[in-house]
Chains A and B, each alone.
Chain A
Amino acid sequence: EAQVTQNPRYLITVTGKKLTVTCSQNMNHEYMSWYRQDPGLGLRQIYYSMNVEVTDKGDVPEGYKVSRKEKRNFPLILESPSPNQTSLYFCASSSLYSPDTQYFGPGTRLTVL
């Protein structure tokens, strides 16, 4: 089954404790993105990647890092999480040949205390 998976789905952590949210897709897609969703603000893009070793900032990249060492994986790293990074995070992927159709993962709900 074609899908985007994220882990963990739920995470409660404390300020300053480094964490990684993994994202993996099995569709051989070139494009991958991370979004965060906050009440009243909609979904905002954090980072995106157009292929392996190619990443770029989205609208709200501060406090986040990403890497794209393999085509299927696009982890989101929070080196020193803060409470304002409490949010619902989505990973998405799309094909080079059909970039319009983004497939989203199930979401990761992160709480930073």
Chain B
Amino acid sequence: QVQLQESGPGLVKPSQTLSLTCTVSGGSISSGGYYWSWIRQHPGKGLEWIGYIYYSGSTYYNPSLKSRVTISVDTSKNQFSLKLSSVTAADTAVYYCARVDSSGYMPRYFDYWGQGTLVTVSS
């Protein structure tokens, strides 16, 4: 059974960089066939996709966040990470990591999710 677990600071100051890590267990990121993604949810709101990465390092980002987002992968630790720069209060949200099933190289659906971690941007 694949499990994902987010970790990182729960409080980030405005203008700083939000950094989160997702640790994957029960499966190898390097095995291929899946993408690894970050999604966030503002308090009381819907889901917003941030981006995803393949184990090779290829990335796709939400165009609305692309200028501030970096997603990276560390296959030796079976982890992938999110960095979001120049944060403001509008970046306060629950951040989820998730696995994306794929068909060939086409992403499909999010089949496993982490429990989510609340990140608050405040001074």
A, B in one complex? no
**Chain B interface residues toward A at CB < 8 A:** none
- Using a CB–CB cutoff of 8 Å, the interface residues on chain A facing chain B are none
